[in-house]
């Protein structure tokens, strides 16, 4: 098991439970997410992304490794779901601000 900061661990746990509200609670009000070359800012946009990806891909996440790279905590994650090539190893680069995720770039 990879040791992760609380908001990152809770994000993955919530995603695995298909609980978009609990996942969203890990983000700051003005957080930024980039996934599949789409950029989203703010809680409403991030909620939409969480719900879309849950419905479309039914993703499951397993953190494999984590390393700090400057401001980014890069978590290498085995992601499985209903998408081509599943499962895939995908990096998730988090920036934390206090106890909230302020930035997440996937890919």
Topology of domain 6-106, per CATH?
A: Nuclear Transport Factor 2; Chain: A, (3.10.450)
Q: Which residues pair with 104 in a beta bridge?
A: 33, 94
Predicted confidence at residue 31, as pLDDT, reads 98
Predicted confidence at residue 101, as pLDDT, reads 98
> What are the sequence ranges of the domains in the chain?
6-106
Predicted confidence at residue 91, as pLDDT, reads 98
The model carries a pTM of 0.95
Token pair, residue 100, equals 């909230």
Predicted confidence at residue 1, as pLDDT, reads 64
Q: Angle 71-24-22 (CA atoms, 0-180°, nearest 5)?
A: 120
Question: Which strands form 38-41's sheet, in the order they lie side by side?
Answer: 38-41, 27-35, 100-106, 88-97, 72-80, 60-69
Per-residue pLDDT of the chain (107 residues; tens, 9 = 90+): 689 999 999 999 999 999 999 999 999 999 999 999 999 999 999 999 999 999 999 999 999 999 999 999 999 999 999 999 999 999 999 999 999 999 999 99
Please name the residues in contact with 57: beta carbons below 8 A apart, sequence gap of 6 or more: 81, 82, 83
Predicted confidence at residue 2, as pLDDT, reads 86
């Amino acid at each position: 098991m990879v040791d992760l900061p609380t908001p990152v661990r809770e994000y993955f746990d919530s995603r695995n439970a298909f609980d978009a509200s609990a996942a969203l609670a890990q983000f700051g009000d003005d957080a930024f997410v980039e996934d599949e070359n789409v950029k989203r800012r703010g809680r409403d946009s991030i909620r939409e992304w969480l719900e879309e990806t849950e419905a479309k891909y039914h993703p499951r996440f397993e953190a494999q490794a984590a390393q700090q790279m400057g401001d980014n905590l890069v978590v290498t994650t085995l992601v499985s779901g209903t998408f081509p090539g599943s499962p895939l190893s995908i990096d998730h680069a988090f920036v934390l601000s206090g106890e909230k995720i302020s930035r997440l770039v996937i890919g």
